[in-house]
Every structure is written in C-alpha cells, then in structure tokens.
Amino acid sequence: MTAQRLLVVEDEPTLRELLSASLRLAGFDVVTAATGSEALTAVRGQRPDLIVLDVMLPDIDGFQVLRRMREQHPAAGVAFPPVLFLTARDAPEDRISGLRAGGDDYVTKPFNLEELVLRIQAVLRRTGGDPGDGRLVVGDLELDTHSHQVTRGGQPVHLSRTEFSLLRVLMEHAGQVLSKPQLLELVWHYDFGGDDSIVATYISYLRRKIDPGDPKLLITVRGTGYLLHRPRS
C-alpha cells in the first residue's frame, strides 16, 4: 500500500523538521514548504492527500494560501485535499476563520505530536469515503462518497469540501433533526466554545446550492436545529 502523502507548510525550520520526522515515523510520505509561495508550487506538483498549513507564514497568510490553492485547483473530478491548520493563534474567531476558509481541523501551538498524528488520521478517515457503493439518496438528491459527486434532479451540484461533509451528515441522518452542537461535532469534530455561527453560515451556503427550486429538502426547525426532509414517494 502506498503511504499517504502530507504537505507540511511551516516556516520555522526546527519545527518543520520535527514534524516531518514524526510524521514519517507514523508512516506518512512527507513533503515540506517554508513559505506560502512554496506551498502553492508544491500542492500542484506533489498532489498531497492532506495539507498541514501554518497560518502565520512570512510571505502570505495561511488562510489566503488556502484560498489561492483552491483557485488554482483543477475542480473537475479531483477532490481538493483536506487541510489541517497549525498555528499559535487560538482565539475562537481565528478557528472559525480557518474553517470558513475551508480548513478541516485547527490545531494550536504548542501541541502534542502524538495528538497531532491522531488528528491527521481522523481527518483522513473522515474525508476518505465509505465502504460499499458509497451512494446516499434522499428524494432526487444523490451523493456519492467515493467520487464526491452530488446531483439534484440529475443536475450536478458543485460543493466545497465542508459543504459536502455537511450534506453527507444530513443525508446520513435524513428525517432526523440535528442541533447546531451535534453538527459541530459530526462535521467539524471541534469545540468552538459555544460559537456555533459557522453552522448557520454553511447551512445557508448549502441551501442555495441544493434547494434552488421545489420541493425544499433542507428545513430549519426553529429553536431546535436542521432537518433534511425525506419526501414521500
């Protein structure tokens, strides 16, 4: 089996080498970059399975690096790799900014190397698809966990990775009301210290893409949470 490839973007040389050595010992193939510009070049040439991205880089802010990576990514048929932000900025608004930028997890410095490896493995499992045929169907909405393709009424729906993960959780729990704290746990696997505004933001994004017409599938249950409605046959 080919080792999963990680791109580690960290400007501090000692930490970069320590991360690289630890992740190689954990069984990963590791490539590194010291700046945002190097990271943009590396992600094109190396095709990593996951990116460990420092936020405070010397040339380009890590959040902006991720935005540029997404802009240059070939969208058709190729999933963008998950991203784990690594930073000393631990304020709740920084974590939310990182996940809104498209990050899949957010680890603050100082950190435990063993925990970091476990977090990376968890993100890879969470974004790697399911066994079986991988199809989820609710009414005329279909999601394929293997190809990361979504259709509504046979028409393709283009989602970001976070939107896809949110829709997948809602479809797996179709007909069940999920609260904001439940969605934070199931989709982001992160405790925001009570700030759950990111859930409403992504529900709004998702609703615009999957519910442009009727019947509406994504329902807000006031004071409770959100429900993906399963239409009657």
Question: Does position 220 have pLDDT exceeding 90, yes or no?
Answer: yes
Other beta carbons within 10 angstroms of residue 175's beta carbon come to 9
Q: Which of 101-105, 165-169, 190-194 has the lowest mean pLDDT?
A: 190-194
Q: What is the pLDDT of residue 184?
A: 83
Q: What is the pLDDT of residue 101?
A: 77
AA letter at 143 = L
Write down the residue that tokens 């089996």 correspond to.
1
Domains parsed from the chain with CATH numbers: 5-127 (3.40.50.2300), 135-228 (1.10.10.10)
Phi and psi at residue 225, to the nearest 5°: 160, -140
Q: 160-188: per-residue pLDDT in tens?
A: 888 998 999 898 888 888 888 888 877 87
Question: Does position 133 have pLDDT exceeding 60, yes or no?
Answer: no
3-state SS assignment for residue 37? helix
> What is the residue-averaged pLDDT of the chain?
84
Share of the chain above pLDDT 90, in %: 39
Question: Does position 205 have pLDDT exceeding 70, yes or no?
Answer: yes
Question: Does position 85 have pLDDT exceeding 60, yes or no?
Answer: yes
